[in-house]
Amino acid sequence: MSLFWRIFSLNAAGLVAATALLLGPVTVSTPVLPGEALLLLAGLALLLAGNAVVLRLGLAPLRRLGRAMATADLLRLGVRAAVAGPAEAAELITTYNTMLDRLEAERAAGAARALGAQERERHRVARELHDEVGQTLTAVLLQLKRVADRVPADLREEVGQAQEATRAGLEEIRRIARRLRPGVLEELGLASALRSLAAEFTTHGLTVRHHLSGDLPPLEAESELVLYRVAQESLTNTARHAAADRADLYLRPLPGGVELLVRDNGTGPGAAPEGAGIRGMRERALLTGAALRLGPAPGRGTDVRLCVPAGPAPARPRPRIPAGAEAGR
């Protein structure tokens, strides 16, 4: 029953009852007797209470819809307001959910175009770093070697320092190019790329261990790139912000998909708002219909969990994620 008919029926019932009393043996004296006043007040209170109950029940779905609209996030797929209540409220909630479906589809398409352009730009910059800057520094290094053979002995130490600085700069350029364009992912596959990533982030203060399953289902190239980039961003956050000395990188099959888990023993996600890195991970998850969750790890630290459907798949349904609270870093 619609909200209009609920309120109308209740008020009509009250007015019909009052009219029936006027036509019956019940009368109101002048002045009004205490018993008659009490009866009138009880009837009024009953009518007001009925109206309050009907309005509260009828407007409760709208209050829930307001809360859902205030907390809506297009990067968290599938979160919808429950369709309930009178016909008008149910129709409004259904329209809102349909609008969210359309906005999520448009957001995913826009994110795909933006991230595709970003990857192309990464490849272009990496190629220019390797072909232009890298070759220039290599030539400078060779020239410094020839100079070192002819300079006086008292200047050789300074030339040697210049050689070491140039060699360090060349290695840094190569490292940046590898991070911009994961060539090992294209040439050797996802497992080898993740092993290389774990080795790259293993430094004096952080140890990254990888646990990669060998029986993974086939994945689209786009899904592999999303898994690699999310692992890369997660380890970057761990190295920069988590104050952790150990991280574990897991890649294992799930029913209908693949799960990536990056777990560290750092300070945990806390209550800080999500930064651009995590928002970027959520944008990438949209591309393949993946589900991304961030939350505290068992004991201490942070869990970043990404579940990607195997093969070409729509945004929903998605692989089931083990329960865990979400949080940002």
State residue 193's pLDDT score.
Answer: 87
Q: Which residues are CB-contacts of 305 (< 8 A; sequence separation ≥ 6)?
A: 259, 260, 261, 292, 293, 294, 295, 321, 322, 324
Does 67 have pLDDT greater than 50? yes
State residue 264's pLDDT score.
Answer: 92
Collapse the DSSP code of 19 into the 3-class scheme (helix H, G, I; strand E, B; otherwise coil) and give the result.
Answer: helix
Of residues 329 and 206, more confidently modeled: 206
Strand partners, 251: 212, 260
Does 326 have pLDDT greater than 70? no
Does 249 have pLDDT greater than 90? yes
pLDDT-based confidence at residue 78 (cuts at 50, 70, 90)? low
Does 285 have pLDDT greater than 90? no
State residue 155's pLDDT score.
Answer: 79
Can you say how many angstroms the Cα of residue 300 is from the centroid of all Cα atoms in its chain? 21
**For 44-52, what is the mean pLDDT?**
80
**For 80-90, what is the mean pLDDT?**
80
**For 210-232, what is the mean pLDDT?**
87
For β-strands 291-296 and 302-309, DSSP reports them as antiparallel
% helix, strand, coil for the chain, step of 5: 60, 10, 30
Strand partners, 247: 208, 264
Tokens (6 digits) for 91 = 């129709």
Nearest to 234 by CA among 282, 272, 193: 282
For β-strands 207-212 and 246-254, DSSP reports them as parallel
**In 151-296, which residue ranges form alpha helices assigned H by DSSP?**
153-180, 183-188, 190-201, 221-241, 276-287
State what percent of residues in the chain have pLDDT above 90.
9
**For 208-231, what is the mean pLDDT?**
87
Can you say how many angstroms the Cα of residue 36 is from the centroid of all Cα atoms in its chain? 64
Please give the Cα distance from 231 to 221 (Å, whole number). Answer: 15
State residue 319's pLDDT score.
Answer: 41
Q: Is 280 left (phi over 0), alpha (psi -120 to 50) or beta?
A: alpha
Q: What is the mean pLDDT of the chain?
A: 79
Can you say how many angstroms the Cα of residue 112 is from the centroid of all Cα atoms in its chain? 15
State residue 23's pLDDT score.
Answer: 67
Does 213 have pLDDT greater than 60? yes
State residue 259's pLDDT score.
Answer: 92
Does 318 have pLDDT greater than 60? no
Does 323 have pLDDT greater than 70? no
Please give the Cα distance from 38 to 56 (Å, whole number). Answer: 27
Per-residue pLDDT tens over the stretch 98-141: 888 888 778 777 777 777 777 778 778 877 776 778 788 888 88
Please give the Cα distance from 194 to 210 (Å, whole number). Answer: 8
Per-residue pLDDT tens over the stretch 6-36: 777 877 887 777 777 666 666 666 776 777 6
Of residues 193 and 57, more confidently modeled: 193
Phi, psi of 247 (to 5 degrees): -140, 145
User: What are the Cα distances from residue 105, in Å, to 37, 142, 280?
Assistant: 62, 54, 17
Residue 7: other Cβ atoms inside 10 A? 16
**For 300-319, what is the mean pLDDT?**
69
